């Protein structure tokens, strides 16, 4: 299951900074408040790598799954429109 949320333009400008890497890389987000749960040493290491590429393979199940509809032709755009239009068998 998923929840479709249409994001206002002014909010998207903020979200895009965190969610969409121009190099096609996927982000791993760490809310700043959660750094308190790490040791000071590990929090410092994480801060040093903020915004930098890391070798992470997304193994296992992610805490949150997110898909972004960038164009009508992307998978999510086609699949959701087909579902909502009652055409899910056509995908």
Number of domains in the chain: 1
Q: Residue 91: its pLDDT value, please?
A: 58
Average pLDDT (17-30) is 84
Q: Determine contact, residues 10/86, Cβ cutoff 8 Å.
A: no
Per residue in 50-87, pLDDT (tens digit) is 999 899 888 888 888 899 998 999 999 999 999 999 98
For residue 33, give its domain range.
Answer: 9-90
CB neighbour list of residue 56: distance below 8 Å, 6 or more residues apart: 28
Closest Cα partner for 23 from 51, 64, 50?
Answer: 51
* Inside any domain, residue 4: no
* Inside any domain, residue 31: yes
Closest Cα partner for 91 from 71, 73, 69, 67?
Answer: 73
Q: Residue 90: its pLDDT value, please?
A: 57
DSSP string, 58-86: --S--SS------STTSHHHHHHHHHHTT
Average pLDDT of the chain, as a whole number:
90
Q: Which two tokens stand for residue 21?
A: 């890497």
Q: Residue 89: its pLDDT value, please?
A: 60
* Inside any domain, residue 3: no
pTM of the model: 0.74
């Amino acid at each position: 299951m998923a929840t479709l949320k249409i994001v206002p333009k002014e909010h998207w400008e903020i979200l895009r900074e965190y969610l969409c890497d121009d190099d096609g890389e996927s982000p791993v987000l760490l809310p700043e408040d959660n750094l308190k749960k790490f040791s000071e040493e590990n929090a410092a290491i994480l801060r040093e790598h903020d915004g930098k590429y890391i070798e992470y393979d997304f193994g296992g199940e992610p805490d949150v799954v997110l898909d972004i509809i960038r164009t009508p032709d992307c998978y999510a755009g086609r699949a959701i429109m087909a579902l909502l239009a009652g055409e899910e068998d056509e995908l």
